Structure 1
Amino acid sequence: MINWQANVYPKQFSGVKCRKRQKINPPLVLTIGFIVLIMLGTGLLMLPMASTQPISWLDALFTATSAVTVTGLVVIDTGTDLTVFGQSVVMLLIQIGGIGFMTVAVISILSLGKTLGLQQRLLASRAFDTNDLTSVIKVAKYVLVYSLVIESVAFCLLFISWFDDYGALKSAYHSLFYTISAFNNAGFALSGDSLSAFKGDITVNVVITALFIIGGLGFTVLIDIYKQKRWSLLSTNTRLVLIATLVLNCIAFILIFFFEHANPTTLAPLSTSEQILTAWFQAVTPRTAGFNTLPIDGLSQDSTLLTMLLMVIGGGSVSTASGIKLGTFVILILAMRSYLKQQTTVTVFNRQLSDKLVIKALSVMILYLFIAFTSIMIITKLEQGSLLDITFEAISALSTVGLSRGITGDLSAPSQLIIILLMLIGRVGPLTFAYCFARQHSQPLTYPTTSIQIG
């Protein structure tokens, strides 16, 4: 793992210019980078040409934050309150926020014919979650190319599907907007009811869900699949993410169909084929996609609780998704299994996980829960709404999902500011955000072991 506050850098490093040695805190720099991007987006959305009617600075800030953090929570109607210019700003912010502004920064530096210094590589390596400083340029290129290729294919499929209904120009624009929004797990839509009008459209359901599932796997997983091409050669992380994604999606689909098939406000009025498509869409969207084809406030309590659990889990690391991340969730499950079996190590696929990795996963979970419950308590004190609605909103924001039970626009200014902060924390990651304020302390001494009763 990279020393994020390192004072000592290698004297020689292939392809890296070692300049003045100084402290660097990548988590803080990354967080500031997101904040700067949000401020720029807010300024652009405040321009008269960005909206059909004047919007407040808070609405602009909320929208820009939601776009940069690829959340999808909205306080204004993207399709009617924003002009084409304003919607284009949202698309640009989603794209940069989804693939990561460090990817854009690295590609921009290279396109200008410049080289990356050591500090720049340290920042990029933190963003890409890799310890190999020599690979950051390749990873950035892979991320950009994969994003453009996948989005191009999806754009063509959606364009063909919508051509007869919308015509060439409108079909192209809608296809571009929804492709970028879906692949980056943003959930922004040009209609107030999201994609509810397409609940029976096979092409739209398959393409949109494929986009946010692929985007939520993680770029390191996609790179590994491209390079290895054989299951036996894939890394442990890749195999774990693929299996866990499949299992979670299938379980969620079965449960949503079972919970909602008789619900008159959701699946009951639909045909069998529409029920299957809609249940599938609703099952896979909570893991940070943000689109919906069912009214979220019409879901049964069973489905609502399941949706919140899926939002907490989120997608893969180094992806366009957030949450505690799929790897974190699986590691905690494996750790619990090992303890119940009275095993001294945590293993997966005949590989042993380090104690440090297990502690990191536990830290992410505890930080997430602490931030979530603290924000829920504060918002509950500020608002008079339902505890279920507020909890759902807070988790959706922290997991950068974008699903809502309809209270976003009704929240007071202080509560909206809390949601904005939650979206930012969710995008950079609770642990990364905590590292912005934490100081590293060496522990040269070892102490006698002791025991504390638990369980």
Structure 2
Amino acid sequence: MAEYFKISKWSPPRILVTGFALIILLGGFLLTLPFASRDGTYTPFIDAVFTATSATCVTGLVTVDTGSHWSVAGQIIIVALIQVGGLGFMTMATLFAIVLRKRISLKERLILQEAMNQSSMEGIVRLIRKVIFYSLAIELVGATLFALRWSFDMPVGQAIYFGIWHGISMFNNAGFDLFGQFGTQYVSLTGYVNDPIVNLTAMMLIILGGIGFIVMSDVIEYKQRKRLSLHSKVVLSMTGALLAVGAIVIFIFEFTNLKTLGALSWDGKIWAAMFQSVAPRTAGPNTVDLVALRQATQFFIVLLMFIGASPGSTGGGIKTTTFTTLIAAVIAMIRGKEDIVLFNMRLARERVLKALTITVLSLALVLAVTMVLSTTEDQAFLKILFETTSAFGTVGLSLGVTPELTLIGKILISLTMFAGRLGPLTLAYAVGPRAEKELYRYPEGKITIG
């Protein structure tokens, strides 16, 4: 028991969990203070911590409207939490270490390996350098495009501020926005449903933030290496398939719905369907009223949110690689194949078991929280399932349930966002005892399956 409190003995997962928790508590404390709110009053601690959790876990679910409730200081705290949470606090710490020319220790490399979901420490510091460079470069491009577009709608200074703020929020797959300060709360990007510049810029940032830094590095270095890793092939192919299928399904389901796509022009229908397919990649903004979507569409978005983004990215969910592995395992079983093969490469047995473990733990978490919230909240079941999955996938899409949550509901959704950002398996490793190698194996037994 004494070893549990010795930081030097802590495992990388435990350090990651503790680090994120401390950042959330610090951010929550700052957001409670009067200078952080627009009216100069104290914000209830639960709402401040909920917002800090949502920002650090790059989710976007909020109990108070970001644009109308928080002052500029509060908004800056939130976007700082988004940046730290999206890249990871160890990545930010490594940035300072690199700037100060400080040596990265073996322990720190192990933590970075866990944070980036890598299988080895080889080249981990080099990867972190690329993560920082790619992130800042992409955010700068996105901020510039946003600022140029919004300079036609607001003063130049405000357009630049909005551009930088939303560039960081979108790339880190956080669903936060500031447009509620113009009168209508929780409005997100619904005012730009037909705008190609806003749609394309936001989708570009969300997709790049969601595919992961390993894939970005692979694609950028493709000319030199002349090949892509199996990981990158799986991520790119599954991401493309999910985006295409998502857009087609949403387009078909909502084509005649006059409250969503039905009232839009053909261009608007296409933009809206595409954006609503991209947003569940754990991003959070929306360009149509989600409450007005048909229930079939809402449930389909729940499935997309549960799958989420890709490993080593700013997003959550069970991840595209996990989903691909499960699909490949099912196909192999149906075909009577012993090996699970992707792009002519066989997957190791432990990869499949890990994918199955992550999916089962994630599904159990979502269902358990949904069941509890169904008793504490006076809301329809699908709305609660939608909100819970959005929290787990660190998406931020909402059907309006979050602002009306009870105290228990706010605590449960906060914990779900935290678990979704770090991953249920990482949390299990963090709180569980240190694994010990087994010295023996039990005899094999057989049970009937199916």
Verify: 1:44 aligned to 2:39, yes or no.
Answer: no
Distance 1:134 1:21, change over 3 A: farther
2:93: which partner in 1? 105
Matches within 5 A, 1:424-443: 424-439=418-433, 440-443=435-438
The residue matched to 1:239 in structure 2 has which SS? helix
CA contact (8 A) 1:24 1:119 kept: no
Distance 1:163 1:178, change over 3 A: same
What is the deviation of 1:304?
A: 0.7
What is the deviation of 1:447?
A: 2.4
| Distance in structure 1 (CA, Å) of the matches to 2:361 and 2:223 | 36
CA contact (8 A) 2:339 2:346 kept: yes
Partner letter of residue 448 of structure 2?
Answer: Q
| Distance in structure 1 (CA, Å) of the matches to 2:19 and 2:436 | 26
| Distance in structure 2 (CA, Å) of the matches to 1:66 and 1:227 | 34
Verify: 1:271 aligned to 2:259, yes or no.
Answer: no
What is the deviation of 1:337?
A: 0.4
2:151: which partner in 1? 163
| Distance in structure 1 (CA, Å) of the matches to 2:161 and 2:279 | 23
What is the deviation of 1:429?
A: 0.7
CA contact (8 A) 1:103 1:140 kept: yes
2:18 to 32, 36, 52: 32
**CA-to-aligned-CA distance 1:47-79 (integer Å, 9 cap, x gap):** 211102331011100000000000000111111
1:122: which partner in 2? 110
Distance 1:256 1:393, change over 3 A: same
1:174: which partner in 2? 162
Partner letter of residue 33 of structure 2?
Answer: L
| Distance in structure 2 (CA, Å) of the matches to 1:231 and 1:282 | 35
Verify: 1:314 aligned to 2:301, yes or no.
Answer: no
1:137: which partner in 2? 125
Verify: 1:59 aligned to 2:52, yes or no.
Answer: no
What is the deviation of 1:434?
A: 1.1
Number of aligned residues: 437
**CA-to-aligned-CA distance 1:217-266 (integer Å, 9 cap, x gap):** 00111111122237951101101111111111011101100000101210
Matches within 5 A, 1:42-441: 42-53=28-39, 54=41, 55-191=43-179, 192-229=186-223, 233-439=227-433, 440-441=435-436
1:445: which partner in 2? 440
Partner letter of residue 26 of structure 2?
Answer: L
Which stretch shows the higher mean deviation, 194-203 or 126-135? 126-135
1:10: which partner in 2? none
CA contact (8 A) 1:128 1:139 kept: no
Structure 1 residue ranges, 4+ long, deviating more than 4 angstroms after superposition: none
What is the deviation of 1:367?
A: 0.3
Partner letter of residue 249 of structure 2?
Answer: L
What is the deviation of 1:108?
A: 1.2
The residue matched to 1:318 in structure 2 has which SS? coil
| Distance in structure 1 (CA, Å) of the matches to 2:297 and 2:411 | 28
| Distance in structure 2 (CA, Å) of the matches to 1:327 and 1:48 | 44
What is the deviation of 1:129?
A: 2.0
Partner letter of residue 341 of structure 1?
Answer: R
Partner letter of residue 382 of structure 1?
Answer: T
Partner letter of residue 24 of structure 1?
Answer: W
**CA-to-aligned-CA distance 1:285-309 (integer Å, 9 cap, x gap):** 1120100011111111111111000
| Distance in structure 2 (CA, Å) of the matches to 1:21 and 1:391 | 37
TM-score (norm 1): 0.94
CA contact (8 A) 2:332 2:338 kept: yes
The residue matched to 2:197 in structure 1 has which SS? helix
Q: Structure 1 stretches of 5 or more lacking a match?
A: 6-19
The residue matched to 1:436 in structure 2 has which SS? helix
The residue matched to 1:394 in structure 2 has which SS? helix
CA contact (8 A) 2:151 2:159 kept: yes
**CA-to-aligned-CA distance 1:91-118 (integer Å, 9 cap, x gap):** 1100110111110011112222321221
CA contact (8 A) 2:307 2:319 kept: yes
The residue matched to 2:346 in structure 1 has which SS? strand
CA contact (8 A) 2:250 2:273 kept: yes
1:8: which partner in 2? none
| Distance in structure 2 (CA, Å) of the matches to 1:72 and 1:261 | 27
Partner letter of residue 202 of structure 2?
Answer: I
What is the deviation of 1:167?
A: 2.6
Identity value in percent: 39
Partner letter of residue 75 of structure 1?
Answer: T
| Distance in structure 1 (CA, Å) of the matches to 2:99 and 2:353 | 40
TM-score (norm 2): 0.95
| Distance in structure 2 (CA, Å) of the matches to 1:427 and 1:347 | 29
What is the deviation of 1:160?
A: 1.4
Which stretch shows the higher mean deviation, 268-277 or 219-228? 219-228
| Distance in structure 2 (CA, Å) of the matches to 1:76 and 1:123 | 34
What is the deviation of 1:441?
A: 3.1
Distance 1:358 1:385, change over 3 A: same
Partner letter of residue 161 of structure 2?
Answer: Y
Partner letter of residue 298 of structure 2?
Answer: T
CA contact (8 A) 1:67 1:94 kept: yes
The residue matched to 1:405 in structure 2 has which SS? coil
| Distance in structure 2 (CA, Å) of the matches to 1:133 and 1:358 | 22
The residue matched to 1:166 in structure 2 has which SS? coil
